[in-house]
Amino acid sequence: MINLQNKVVVLTGAGGGIGRAAAEKLAQNGMKIVLFGGNNRENLKATASIVEKYSSCLVLPGDLTDLEFIRKGVEEVIRTFGQIDILINNAGMAANTSFEEVRVEDFDKIMAINVRVPFYLTQQAIPFLKKSGSATIINIASVVAHAGYPLQSAYTASKHALLGLTKSIAREYYQDGIRVHAICPGGVYTDMVKVSRPDLTPEGMIMPEEIADIIWFFLSNRGNAVIDEIIVHRVNKEPFLV
C-alpha cells in the first residue's frame, strides 16, 4: 500500500451519489479533495462539510461543460494546492428515452458531460499528473460501456466512448507513471439510477460506498499488477446480468 496522505484529488460530480461517497472515503485517508463542478451548490456544500471533518477541500461549483470553467478551475487547484495527483472523472448524466425520441440536443448534452468533459479535464490535468509519483486517473464508466441497453442509446454510446478514451490514454501515459482505470458499475443506488433505470428497485442495488471502496483499492494498491478496469455487477436473481 502506498502513502496517499496529502495527495490532491480532483473529483467531479461530488454533490451526491458515488462522488460524495468517494470524497468521504478519500478524505478519511488524508487526501485533499477538490470538489470540481456541479450545478447544485447546496449538495456540494454538504459534501464539503463531510470532507472537512477529515481533511481539506476546495469547492469549485459550476458547469463542467463550459471548457473555460475547467481551464480556470485547474489553475485555481494549482494556486491552492500546488499539485494534482489523482483525477476522478465521475460527473455524468443519463437518460431513459426511446431511440427515436432522443433529441439531438440531449444527445450532445450527454456526450458533452460524459465524454467531452473527461477528455478536456484530463488534458488540462496531465502536465501536473506527470509530476506526481502516484498519478492515477479513474473514469467512472458503466456496465453500458460493454452492454447495449434499450432506451439508453445516447448514454450507452457515451460510456462506450469513455471506455475507449480510458484505454487509449492508459497506453499513452503508462511510461509517464500515470495509471488510468475505468470502473464500470451496474445499478448503483443514487439519484441517477432513478432516471436511467426506473425499472430497478433499491433492493440488491450496489451502494455508492462500495464503488468508493473500489476507487480506494485502485489508488492504494500500486504494485506491478495493473488493473485496467473493474466491472461491478449488482446482486441479481440472475448473476452477471447487468
Q: Give catalytic residue positions.
A: 155
Instruction: Show the binding pattern over residues 40-69: x = contacts ligand NAP (CB under 6 A), - = does not.
Output: x--x-------------------xxx----
How far is 117 from 92, CA to CA, in rounded Å? 9
> Does the protein bind ligand NAP through residue 163 (CB under 6 A)?
no
> Does the protein bind ligand NAP through residue 17 (CB under 6 A)?
yes
> Does the protein bind ligand NAP through residue 15 (CB under 6 A)?
yes
CB of residue 76 vs ligand NAP: minimum separation in angstroms? 15
> Does the protein bind ligand NAP through residue 115 (CB under 6 A)?
no
C-alpha cell at 67: 471548457
> Does the protein bind ligand NAP through residue 18 (CB under 6 A)?
yes
Q: Choose which of 4, 10, 32, 37 interacts with ligand NAP (CB under 6 A).
A: 37
Instruction: Show the binding pattern over residues 196-235: x = contacts ligand NAP (CB under 6 A), - = does not.
Output: ----------------------------------------
Q: Choose which of 122, 124, 132, 142 interacts with ligand NAP (CB under 6 A).
A: 142
> Does the protein bind ligand NAP through residue 165 (CB under 6 A)?
no
SS3 of the chain: the string is CCCCCCCEEEEECCCCHHHHHHHHHHHHCCCEEEEECECCHHHHHHHHHHHCCCCCEEEECECCCCHHHHHHHHHHHHHHHCCCCEEEECCCCCCCCCHHHCCHHHHHHHHHHHHHHHHHHHHHHHHHHCCCCCCEEEEECCHHHCCCCCCCHHHHHHHHHHHHHHHHHHHHHHHHCCEEEEEEECCECCHHHHHHCCCCCCCCCECHHHHHHHHHHHHHCCCCCCCCEEEECCCCCCCCCC
> Does the protein bind ligand NAP through residue 190 (CB under 6 A)?
yes
Residue count, binding to ligand NAP (CB under 6 A): 29
CB of residue 130 vs ligand NAP: minimum separation in angstroms? 25
The residues binding ligand NAP (CB under 6 A) are 13, 15-19, 37-40, 43, 63-65, 90-94, 113, 140, 142, 185, 187-188, 190-193
